[in-house]
Amino acid sequence: MDEPSVPQAGGESPAPATSPVLPLPAAENLPPGREDLVFAFDGTTAYVVNCQYTSARAAEVMSACDQVVGSFRVGKAATAQNNPQAPPAQANTQAQQQAQNDLAALQHDGKFTSDLKRLTSDASQASADLATTRSDAALGTDCYNVSTVKIDASNVGGDASIVSLDRDMLAGDIGTASQDIATMKNDLANLNVIGLPPTPGATAAIAAAGHAMKRAAAEANGGIDQVNAEVTQAYSLANGMATGSCSGNGPGRGPAPIRHISTE
């Protein structure tokens, strides 16, 4: 074989290899018919120039090999195979899109209107049942009526149990919003590290969600305090009537007080 075989570099514009190639011996020192291998290394990648020739054409082939070795470069297509990371522009776009998605989630989760409406409605039912308890208690202390008041007080306790479930649902939504705030802050920090501007509206959304969380918790805790007080009044009234021959007709101990919602 009288022509040199040369590895291709993907057709890209040449860039210098990171290590020098090994020099070829002078043509006049070559024995008749031989094969020379020239190696170049770029990190863990090896490139080989294989020169094969006969004595009759040694000088011609060696001259061609000298040109190949002297001009050999590692192109961009080859080096890209050893560095499969996403281009910076693509990574930047992904970071911006993620931040935009997280902003949309924060804006959606930062509203607690439906949760508060449900809790307020159920709390008002406790007030209505307490009013019924008081109204029935005014009808007298005969055991039949005492039993009726017992049922009224138990209804107030049942209302409190429902409000407790409302409280848990609102607390869960506030917890989700809190996580979304932390995620959004992390997105903004990542954008800053890679030199990109903050997502428009993100800072305002973080502040708005924080205020909404505190307002929702304060409003809910007010309703919770009201229900807890109404349960205490209803059970106290009913148990107070269950005396003498009617001593077994009281509702007994009421449900545990509903816990406050914390935004800390």
pLDDT digits (tens, 9 = 90+) for 51-102: 877 777 777 777 878 887 777 776 554 444 455 555 677 878 899 999 999 9
8 Å CB contact between 160 and 227: yes
What pLDDT score does 112 carry?
A: 93
Closest by CA to 62, choosing from 19, 7, 9, 2, is 2
- The Cα angle at residue 36 between residues 34 and 40, in degrees rounded to 5: 175
Pairwise pLDDT comparison (113 vs 263), residue with the higher score = 113
What pLDDT score does 197 carry?
A: 94
Q: For residues 177 and 200, what is the distance between their CA atoms, to the nearest angstrom?
A: 19
What pLDDT score does 55 carry?
A: 77
Q: For residues 140 and 136, what is the distance between their CA atoms, to the nearest angstrom?
A: 8
* CA 127 to chain CA mean position, Å: 41
Q: For residues 109 and 243, what is the distance between their CA atoms, to the nearest angstrom?
A: 51
What pLDDT score does 187 carry?
A: 95
Q: What secondary structure letter does DSSP report for 112?
A: -
Closest by CA to 150, choosing from 257, 243, 256, is 243
Percent pLDDT > 70 in the chain is: 80
pLDDT one-digit tens code per residue, 224-262: 999 999 999 999 999 999 999 999 899 999 999 999 999
Least confident of 33-37, 99-103, 148-152: 33-37
* CA 34 to chain CA mean position, Å: 64
Q: For residues 85 and 77, what is the distance between their CA atoms, to the nearest angstrom?
A: 14
CA separation (Å) from 244 to 143, 152, 154, 241?
9, 20, 21, 9
Residue 37 tokens, joined: 């291998």
pLDDT one-digit tens code per residue, 127-148: 999 999 999 999 999 999 999 9
What pLDDT score does 57 carry?
A: 77
Residue 230 tokens, joined: 């109404």
This prediction's pTM: 0.64
What pLDDT score does 89 carry?
A: 78
Alpha-helix runs per DSSP H in the chain: 58-71, 76-81, 88-109, 113-137, 143-193, 202-241
What pLDDT score does 9 carry?
A: 44
Q: How many residues would you count in the chain?
A: 264
What pLDDT score does 93 carry?
A: 87
What pLDDT score does 64 carry?
A: 79
What pLDDT score does 176 carry?
A: 94
10 Å CB burial of residue 74 (0-12, 13-18, 19+) is: buried
8 Å CB contact between 164 and 257: no
Residue 207 tokens, joined: 């502040």
Rg from Cα positions in the chain: 41
Q: What secondary structure letter does DSSP report for 47?
A: E
Average pLDDT over the chain reads 84
Closest by CA to 114, choosing from 216, 205, 261, 206, is 216
What pLDDT score does 28 carry?
A: 53
How many other CB atoms sit within 10 Å of the CB of residue 156? Answer: 29
